[in-house]
Amino acid sequence: MRQAFQVGLMLSVAVATASACTSVLGDFTMGEPGASSSGGSSGCPMGMADCNGDTLCEVNLHDDPQNCGACGAVCLDEGMCSESGCSGVTEIARGFPTPEDANARLLVIYQDEVYWTAGEGANGSVQKVPILGGSVTLLAAGQNAPYGIAVNQQGVFWSNLNDTNVMWVDREGQETPKVIYDSNHATLGVAADESDVFWAQRAAGIGVPGRGSLIGKIAMLDAWPNDEGANDDFHEDDKASPHLIALDAEHVYWVDRSARGTVNRTRRDTGDTVELADEQPFPYAIAVDETFVYWTNSPRGNDTDQQAALMRAPKDGSQEAMAIWEPSEDDDVEHPSPDCIAVDGNDDYVYWTDQGTPRVLRRRKDGRGRQQVLYEGGAPRGIALHGGFVFWVEEKSPGGVRKLPR
């Protein structure tokens, strides 16, 4: 099998810390090394911060809507700032490294930091920012259409669509990014926990099956990286067009965007696969909680709005799939296109972004009641839940990361 496992060092497992480098976050310049983004350090009283590096501790993080809770965390739509944060949406990063290349795609949250991919061409990047906001860390530049992303204690893993590979960098961005799997085909979704990293590989065009389509696996052994490298024999499926993936302790869950449109469960120890749902029109993103698997069906091109849906099925395959949300005459919008999705076992709702409207929404996991529009505007794409907030990225320039209490 084709592979290039080029990481030749033992990785650090230290807990990540915020970047100390000067960086630009939209219109704001972060402090010099040692400056505080949240107050209480670098000589500033608690709740105060030096946001421009002049050591004056001039910013009150409890009432400044341009620096609410952290330097550069902006309250949007004329929101108010208080000790509990912005009254509405907070933009914790934007326009980085440049507005032209900052259109964000997918994100993941790990140990109180938000990681995301951005850019559709050769100037793409991988970045991170603390969940409160603050200095943005550029982890990798010059990436060719970075897409799926995952993080564990061993580092940051992502796919490059145009370079057909899976990449790695340490969580501080101190090492040179390295290829850990190289293929002749597009790599898409990436998911990880502390045991394994998985990726989806599509051998043909979007939604077209092809020889070489698969779900691949990289084991995070004690001596990772190891001589065995990436396992692209884990699960091959020439009849599928795998896309985004999700994990629990025993299985990998993934969507097949081919004409047959399936949602699948693959055992992590054996690669054995069970089909949980079929005849799904263009499934896109997927998420799981303790009991159910959830996914979005996005209309393709000029297809009808009736294909758009938010779906769920039991993880054990005991029942057929059901629609949690479908377009309704009661919802006065045109051309909905549900995109990314997020769930939390401690929350009764499923959250998703809709690129067609564009909105950030939620609805009860059992489908009862109406959907709730949490935010409308921009170009929301990747979405994640953390603490009491829902986070998402803005796909269109100048890009950015936003959060809202849930």
The pLDDT tens digits for 183-239 are: 889 999 999 999 999 999 999 888 888 889 999 999 998 777 765 678 999 999 999
Q: What is the mean pLDDT of residues 8-20?
A: 30
Does 248 reside within a domain? yes
What pTM, to 2 d.p., does this model score? 0.88
pLDDT at 120 over 90: no
**Percentage of the chain modeled with pLDDT above 90:** 71
Q: In this structure, what token pair is assigned to residue 222?
A: 């004690």
As a dihedral over the C-alpha atoms of residue 222, residue 227, residue 232, residue 235, rounded to 10 degrees, the angle is -50
pLDDT at 2 over 60: no
pLDDT at 13 over 80: no
pLDDT at 121 over 60: yes
Q: What is the mean pLDDT of residues 36-41?
A: 42
Residue 224's pLDDT is: 75
The CATH number for 210's domain is 2.120.10.30
pLDDT at 182 over 80: yes
Q: What is the mean pLDDT of residues 6-30?
A: 30
Residue 31's pLDDT is: 32
- Bridge partners (DSSP) of residue 49 are 59
Q: What is the pLDDT of residues 290-333, one digit of tens each?
A: 999 999 998 765 555 568 999 999 999 999 999 999 988 777 78
pLDDT at 376 over 60: yes
Does 277 reside within a domain? yes
Does 191 reside within a domain? yes
Does 6 reside within a domain? no
pLDDT at 369 over 90: yes
Q: What is the pLDDT of residues 248-291, one digit of tens each?
A: 999 999 999 988 899 999 999 999 999 999 999 889 999 999 99
pLDDT at 66 over 60: yes
Does 20 reside within a domain? no
Distance of CA 338 to the CA centre of its chain: 15
User: Which pLDDT band holds residue 4 (cuts at 50, 70, 90)?
Assistant: very low
- Sign of the CA dihedral with 72 first, then 339, 111, and 350 last: positive
Taking the C-alpha atoms of residue 285 and residue 280, their distance in angstroms, rounded to an integer, is: 12
User: Which pLDDT band holds residue 27 (cuts at 50, 70, 90)?
Assistant: very low
Hunting for tokens 């009283």 — which residue is that?
45
Does 110 reside within a domain? yes
Residue 3's pLDDT is: 39
Taking the C-alpha atoms of residue 168 and residue 230, their distance in angstroms, rounded to an integer, is: 12
Taking the C-alpha atoms of residue 206 and residue 242, their distance in angstroms, rounded to an integer, is: 9
Q: How many structural domains is the chain composed of?
A: 1
Does 243 reside within a domain? yes
Does 14 reside within a domain? no
Are the beta carbons of 255 and 284 closer than 8 angstroms?
yes
Owning domain of residue 291: 100-127+138-381
Taking the C-alpha atoms of residue 110 and residue 113, their distance in angstroms, rounded to an integer, is: 5
**Percentage of the chain modeled with pLDDT above 70:** 86
